[in-house]
């Protein structure tokens, strides 16, 4: 499967998906959005993909936002449809049944920041910059920024970021919980790989069920707890659960099968 705007490499269960449009600092053109949508739809059911590292090509940018050229002469109906399409693509990534880590190697602005927010975790290089500069263009974040950013960093800090449109450094993003780890640029990919590799040694069905349970953490807590209990029950029906417990009691490493 090849894509016009993505470079994809799968190695030992880990897919590295690189948005490869360096001339526009990997801006999210319609084609990039279509390619991301198609790849994540395919990979959700592809056993060869156990987890994803999502990054941008070149040393400068993860994704510098939506492709601003598309905004020329955009009217209200078209604008709403544009936001809904982007939200649908990013929700597919958020609901992806296997771990997705945004590997932020430079600018993550506007839709780029929102793309990172839709991933399950974020790691960044020291030179990364995050921001929601939409107010500079007379618009608002439309790919989930007003909804996911407050859920991740809290409403007060999110409000400042979206109202000022200012960029923050990787270190500041780490301080406010927007990224999980910051690496020197040359160590970024290996740091991200190590994080994902460690996660992928765990029971695959348990990872999927955990992601599903975490997705319910936006529900009222009583409903979220009911959902968690139901998913816990599902985990108990897996062979890997039996294997994990037997391995612990037998003082050996588990051999998970993903069943």
Q: Is 145 in the site for ligand COA (CB under 6 A)?
A: no
Tell me which stretch binds ligand COA (CB under 6 A): 131-139, 147-155, 189-197, 213-221. 131-139
Q: Considering CB under 6 A, how many residues would be counted as binding ligand COA?
A: 16
DSSP per-residue codes, 211-228: HHHHHGGGS-HHHHHHHH
Q: Which of 8, 10, 13, 24 binds ligand COA (CB under 6 A)?
A: 24
109/157 with CB nearer ligand COA: 109
* Residue labelled with tokens 């816990």: 232
CA distance 157 to 36: 29
3-class SS letters over 46-91 = CCCCCEEEEEECCCCEEECCECHHHHCCCCHHHHHHHHHHHHHHHH
Catalytic sites, residue numbers: 114, 134
Q: Are 54 and 102 in contact (CB under 8 A)?
A: yes
- For residues 226 to 245, the per-residue mask of contacts with ligand COA, x marking binding by CB under 6 A and - elsewhere, is --------------------
Q: Which of 133, 145, 204, 244 binds ligand COA (CB under 6 A)?
A: 133
Measure Cα distances from 84 to 23, 70, 217 in Å: 26, 15, 23
51/65 with CB nearer ligand COA: 65
51/112 with CB nearer ligand COA: 112
* Residue labelled with tokens 């020329």: 72
Q: Exposed, middle or buried by CB within 10 Å (0-12, 13-18, 19+), for 187?
A: middle
136/217 with CB nearer ligand COA: 136
CA distance 151 to 130: 16
Q: Is 143 in the site for ligand COA (CB under 6 A)?
A: no
Q: Which of residues 33-72 bind ligand COA (CB under 6 A)?
A: 64-69
Q: Which of 134, 209, 211, 231 binds ligand COA (CB under 6 A)?
A: 134
Q: Is 128 in the site for ligand COA (CB under 6 A)?
A: no
- Cα 17 from chain centre: 11
60/197 with CB nearer ligand COA: 60
Q: Which of residues 91-120 bind ligand COA (CB under 6 A)?
A: 107, 109-111
């Amino acid at each position: 499967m090849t894509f016009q705007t993505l470079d994809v490499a799968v190695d030992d269960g880990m897919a590295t998906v690189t948005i490869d449009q360096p001339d526009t600092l990997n801006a999210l053109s319609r084609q990039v959005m279509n390619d991301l949508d198609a790849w994540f739809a395919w990979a959700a059911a592809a056993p060869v993909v156990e987890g994803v590292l999502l990054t941008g090509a070149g040393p400068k940018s993860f994704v510098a936002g939506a492709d601003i050229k598309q905004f020329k002469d955009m009217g209200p109906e078209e604008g709403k449809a544009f936001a809904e399409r982007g939200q649908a693509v990013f929700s597919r990534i958020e609901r992806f049944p296997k771990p997705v880590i945004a590997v932020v190697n430079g600018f993550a602005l506007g839709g780029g920041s929102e793309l990172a927010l839709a991933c399950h975790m974020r790691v960044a290089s020291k030179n990364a910059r995050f921001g929601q500069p939409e107010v500079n263009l007379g618009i608002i974040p439309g790919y989930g920024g007003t909804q996911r950013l407050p859920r991740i960093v809290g409403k007060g800090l999110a409000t400042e970021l979206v109202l000022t449109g200012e960029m923050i450094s990787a270190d500041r993003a780490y301080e406010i919980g927007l990224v999980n780890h910051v690496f020197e640029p040359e160590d970024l990919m290996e740091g991200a790989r190590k994080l994902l590799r460690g996660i992928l040694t765990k029971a695959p069905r348990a990872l999927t069920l955990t992601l599903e349970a975490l997705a319910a953490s936006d529900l009222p807590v009583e409903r979220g707890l009911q959902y968690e209990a139901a998913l816990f029950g599902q985990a108990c029906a897996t062979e890997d659960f039996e294997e994990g417990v037997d391995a612990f009691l037998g003082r050996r490493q588990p051999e998970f099968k993903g069943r």
